[in-house]
Amino acid sequence: MVRARWTTLALVAALVAGVAGCGSSEHGTDVRKVAFVAPFKDNEPDWTQQSREVLAAWPKRLHVRVDEIDASQTPDVRGVFEQVAHEGNQLVIAHDSRYAAAAEAVAKQTRVPTLVWGEGRDVKGLVSHITVEGKEGGYIAGVVAARAAYTRRLGILVMADGSAWDTATWNRMAGGFVAGARSIDPHTRFYFTQVGESGSATVKQVREAARQLAREGAQMLFALGGAATVGALQAVTAAGGESQYVGVIGDKATFNRENNVLESVMYDTKRVFEEARRDVRDGRFGEHPYKLTLRDRGLWLFRTGRTPEDAYERGIQAQHEIQRGRVHVPDTPTQQSVQALIAEQQPAG
C-alpha cells in the first residue's frame, strides 16, 4: 500500500543515521522498496498526481512497496534524500527537477540508485535522468489551437516557477506550439511573454500577465509552468466568452469549473518508471536517459468538451507525421529563441 508521509527537518535529523541503504551493483538489485520524493504542496498538482497513480499500482502488481515523501515543507531537501537513502530503498525517484542536484549528490554518496528530472550525465548504477521531447507536444497543441481558433490570435505564457531546465522545456514547447499553429495558418499571430526569473513567478503575476495578453488580442492562451499556471486559468475563466486555455501536464479539472480548457499536453511516466525499475534489477540503471515522447505515449494530447473534432483529428495526424519523421520541429530552449521564431513571419499590426 502506498503511504504518505510529511517530512520535517526534525524527522530528517532523527532518521538520517538509520538503516543503511541498499545500493546497486553491476549485477543488479531486486527492487522491493521505492521512495517517491515530491513537492506535494509546491508544484502543479496534476504533475504529482499522475505519477502517484502510476506508483499506486506497484504494491499489488509488482510487490514493490512505495513510500511517498512530501519534501515541500522542509528547508533541507538534501536531508530528505539522505533519510530515504538509509531506509532500505533500492530506487529513489526525485520528482522535481529542482531536486536533481541534491538527489544526485546523495546518490553518489550512499550508492542508492536515483531517478531525477532534467538533463545531465547519467552515472552507471547510480543516477539516471528523465527528459521530455516537449517541442513535439507543443507542436500538436499548436495545430489544434490554430484549427480551433476563429481569430488565429494565440497567446503563449511561459512562467519561470521551477528550475532552469523546466523553463527551457517550456520554451521548447512554446516554439513547437508556434510551428504547429503556423502549419495550419502561416499568418497566425502570437502574443508571447515570460513571467518570473530563476523560479520566481507567482500566481498573481501570471494572472496579470494572462489578462494583459487577452487585452492585446489573444483568443487562446498556452500556459506553460508549474503551480503558477493556476493564475493563467483564473484569468481565462474570469474573462469568459470565447477565451480558451491550452494547458500542459494535467487536465486542470480541479480548477476548470467553467470548462474553458481547450486541450492539454499530458505527461505519462508509467513506461519510464517501470523501465528504470527493470534497469536497476538488471544492473543497467544509469546507462541512458529516459525520454517522454509522443512515440512512446510519454506525451499525449488530452481532449476536452471544448475540443472541436476536426481540430483534434488534425492534431493526431500531425503527431503521426512527427513520428514518421516528416515534420521538423524547431528547438527553442530560450525566451530569445522563441521570440526570434515568432518574429520570422509575424504579421504586422
Q: How confident is the model at residue 227 (pLDDT cuts 50, 70, 90)?
A: confident
Cell numbers linked to 254 = 480541479
Reported as a single tens digit per residue, the pLDDT across 25-74 is 456 789 999 999 999 877 777 788 889 999 999 999 999 999 999 998 88
Reported as a single tens digit per residue, the pLDDT across 293-333 is 999 999 999 888 888 999 999 999 999 999 999 999 999 99
CA distance 274 to 348: 49
Q: What DSSP designation does 123 have? A: B
In this structure, the strands spanning 33-38 and 65-70 are parallel
In this structure, the strands spanning 153-159 and 127-132 are unpaired
Identify the burial level of 99 via C-beta atoms within 10 angstroms of its C-beta, where 0-12 means exposed, 13-18 middle and 19 or more buried. buried
Q: What are phi and psi of 148, to 5 degrees?
A: -85, -25
∠208-214-216 over CA atoms, to 5°?
Answer: 105
Q: How confident is the model at residue 1 (pLDDT cuts 50, 70, 90)?
A: very low
CA distance 21 to 12: 15
Cell numbers linked to 344 = 520570422
* Coil/strand/helix, residue 261: strand
Give the other-Cβ count within 10 Å of 297's Cβ: 12
196 close to 159: Cβ distance less than 8 angstroms: yes
Cell numbers linked to 273 = 518508471
CA distance 93 to 174: 27
Which pLDDT score is estimated for 140? Answer: 96
Cell numbers linked to 308 = 472541436
- Alpha carbon 334 to chain centroid distance? 17
Q: What share of the chain is helix, strand, coil (3-state, %, to 5)?
A: 40, 20, 40
Identify the burial level of 124 via C-beta atoms within 10 angstroms of its C-beta, where 0-12 means exposed, 13-18 middle and 19 or more buried. middle
Residues in the chain: 349
171 close to 338: Cβ distance less than 8 angstroms: yes
155 close to 218: Cβ distance less than 8 angstroms: yes
CA distance 118 to 124: 17
In this structure, the strands spanning 299-303 and 261-267 are antiparallel
Which pLDDT score is estimated for 191? Answer: 96
Closest CA to 221 of 144, 327, 127, 145: 145
Q: Is the pLDDT of residue 250 over 50?
A: yes
Which pLDDT score is estimated for 118? Answer: 96
Which pLDDT score is estimated for 267? Answer: 92
CA distance 222 to 338: 13
39 close to 161: Cβ distance less than 8 angstroms: no
Cell numbers linked to 313 = 483529428
Lowest mean pLDDT among 103-117, 203-217, 246-260, 319-333: 246-260
Reported as a single tens digit per residue, the pLDDT across 155-172 is 999 999 889 999 999 999
126 close to 292: Cβ distance less than 8 angstroms: no
Domains of the chain in start order, with CATH, are 3-117 (3.40.50.2300), 134-267+296-345 (3.40.50.2300)
CA distance 214 to 157: 11
Q: Is the dihedral of CA 26, 272, 48, 33 positive or negative?
A: negative
Strands (E), the chain: 3-6, 33-38, 65-70, 91-94, 114-117, 127-132, 153-159, 189-195, 220-224, 244-249, 261-267, 290-292, 299-303
Is 0.95 topped by the overall pTM?
A: no
Reported as a single tens digit per residue, the pLDDT across 270-291 is 999 999 999 999 999 999 999 9
CA distance 332 to 142: 15
Average pLDDT for the chain: 87
